[in-house]
């Protein structure tokens, strides 16, 4: 068994040979990075190879220092990695491209160390020890790079979302003469007025309730990522308790598929997504109509029908009874209001209405024996004076329940 000092001597010999080839290793890292990282294509202006080679040479020097001293990368080295990450984030180079470039450097450095080892087992073991040190170095530098990159991106996204939210507010209150200026502003914020779009208004439910502290960032990201486009380019913002998104209008089925994917992500966080979809439009003057249709549609989103397209998916009766009235209590007899305060009664009336007054169908939906349902219906008739087995009386009972806010359609207000 060799001594620790002998191991150090072998490692120092490998490092010396490695250092002598540092220029060639840095050039190889640059060549592989330019050739293998698609994300650098947008900034490859002919000087990229030289730039990466210079950076690689600096990192090789920093690695040699840590390997010889046993110390972690210095603050100066980590700060340089952070500054470069900030620059790349501003250039909109993807974080995945930066991570890939660091992994390529790791691969080439590990291979170079292996080449400098002698064939004997002791030298090979020394090379393995040095390779482990390259991983320690690379982990520290990559973590610093990623942290700085994400800080820039998150800050930019927050500013972008704020500007987009202000644009939506302006579009909902603007006059026709203000539209040309808003079109220019919208284009700068990534909203192409010549594209055919559709407005989506969505809400998040956690344990059946809307969050009290605003919509979490991950819910906005879920909708943005369901489009398979870069998050920054998707127009989606949190506005009060709503998530408002402008998506490409590719037909109801395509929009439904995108929202289904977003809902699946939200379910993974233990929440639920409800969405209303407005009519397609082209030109910013059509946004307000699409937005209000989406707001109207989401009032009718339920657990069984979480995505509603307006106005085609919303029956007129459902829309009228969802609006409510301030004087509803004075229009509805006290006995009827008392009966409708019971959840089971409202559920029975809604199921019977949905079944077109068919006892067998409604009983199955309620998991009741038909005779049990008949008893309930008779009891409602006795207590209210309105027999739900008669179409006119059933319509009056359902209208009363919904106008007083006790409708069982489960929509969002």
The contacts of residue 339 (CB under 8 Å, 6+ apart) are 345, 380, 383, 384
The length of the chain, given as a count of residues: 413
Decide if 352 contacts 366 (C-beta within 8 A). Answer: no
- Is residue 209 classed as helix, strand or coil in its secondary structure? strand
> pLDDT of the chain along its 413 residues, tens only?
344 444 488 899 999 999 999 999 999 999 999 889 886 654 555 678 888 999 999 999 999 999 999 899 999 999 999 998 888 887 777 888 899 999 999 999 999 999 999 999 999 999 999 999 999 999 999 999 999 888 887 777 778 888 888 999 998 888 888 888 888 888 878 788 888 999 999 999 887 777 666 678 888 888 888 887 777 788 898 888 889 999 988 777 889 999 999 999 999 888 999 999 999 999 888 899 999 999 989 988 888 889 999 777 766 666 666 655 555 556 678 888 888 888 889 889 989 998 999 999 999 999 999 999 999 999 999 998 889 999 888 888 888 877 765 444 445 55
CATH architecture under which domain 4-154 falls: Orthogonal Bundle (1.10)
Supply φ then ψ for residue 333, to 5 degrees: -55, 145
Cα distance between residue 337 and residue 127, in whole Å: 83
Decide if 409 contacts 320 (C-beta within 8 A). Answer: no
pTM (2 decimals)? 0.53
- Predicted pLDDT at 48: 83
- Predicted pLDDT at 86: 87
Supply φ then ψ for residue 97, to 5 degrees: -65, -40
Strand ranges for 180-338 from DSSP E: 196-206, 235-239, 242-248, 271-277, 281-282, 307-309
Q: Which pair of tokens denotes residue 47?
A: 């000087």
Reference 201, options 239, 248, 230; nearest CA is: 239
Task: Tell me which residue has tokens 């199921």.
Answer: 351
Cα distance between residue 91 and residue 108, in whole Å: 26
- Domain 323-403 in CATH 1.10.10.2840: yes
Q: Which pair of tokens denotes residue 25?
A: 């290793």
Report in angstroms the alpha-carbon separations of 362 from 377, 389, 396, 401. Answer: 11, 12, 18, 18
Q: How is the chain split into domains, by residue range?
A: 4-154, 191-314, 323-403
Domain 191-314 belongs to what topology? Alpha-Beta Plaits (3.30.70)
């Amino acid at each position: 068994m060799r001594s620790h000092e002998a191991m150090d001597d072998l490692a120092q010999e490998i490092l010396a040979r490695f250092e002598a080839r540092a220029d060639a290793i840095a050039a190889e890292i640059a060549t592989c990075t330019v050739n293998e990282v698609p994300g650098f294509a947008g900034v490859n202006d002919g000087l990229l190879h030289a730039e990466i080679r210079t950076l690689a040479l600096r990192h090789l020097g920093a690695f040699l220092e840590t390997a010889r001293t046993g110390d972690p990368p210095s603050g100066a080295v980590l700060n340089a990695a952070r500054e470069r990450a900030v620059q790349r984030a501003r250039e909109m180079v993807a974080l995945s491209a930066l991570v890939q470039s660091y992994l390529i450097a790791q691969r080439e450095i590990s291979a170079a160390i292996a080449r400098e080892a002698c064939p004997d087992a002791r030298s090979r073991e020394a090379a393995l020890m040095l390779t482990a040190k390259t991983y320690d170095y690379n982990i520290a530098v990559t973590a610093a790079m990623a942290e700085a990159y994400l800080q820039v991106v998150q800050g930019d996204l927050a500013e972008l979302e704020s500007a987009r939210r202000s644009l939506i507010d302006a579009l909902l209150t603007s006059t026709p003469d203000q539209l040309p200026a808003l079109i220019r502003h919208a284009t700068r914020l990534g909203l192409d007025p010549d594209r055919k779009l559709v407005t989506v208004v969505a809400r998040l439910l956690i344990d059946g309730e809307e969050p009290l502290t605003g919509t979490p960032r991950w819910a906005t990201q879920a909708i943005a990522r369901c489009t398979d486009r870069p998050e920054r380019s998707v127009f989606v913002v949190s506005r009060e308790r709503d998530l408002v998104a402008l998506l490409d209008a590719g037909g109801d089925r395509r929009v439904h598929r995108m929202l289904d994917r977003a809902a699946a992500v939200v379910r993974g966080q233990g929440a639920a997504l409800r969405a209303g979809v407005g009519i397609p439009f082209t030109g910013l003057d059509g946004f307000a109509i699409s937005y209000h249709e989406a707001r109207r549609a989401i009032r009718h989103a339920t657990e069984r029908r979480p995505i509603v397209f307006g106005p085609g998916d919303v029956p007129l009766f459902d829309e009228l009874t969802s609006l409510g009235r301030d004087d509803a209590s004075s229009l509805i007899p006290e006995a009827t209001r008392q009966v409708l305060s019971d959840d089971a009664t409202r559920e029975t009336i809604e199921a019977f209405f949905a079944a077109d007054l068919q006892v067998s169908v409604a009983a199955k939906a309620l998991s009741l024996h038909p005779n049990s349902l008949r008893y309930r219906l008779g009891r409602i008739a006795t207590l209210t004076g309105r027999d739900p087995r008669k179409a006119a009386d059933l319509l009056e009972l359902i209208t009363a329940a919904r106008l007083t806010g006790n409708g069982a359609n489960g929509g969002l207000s």
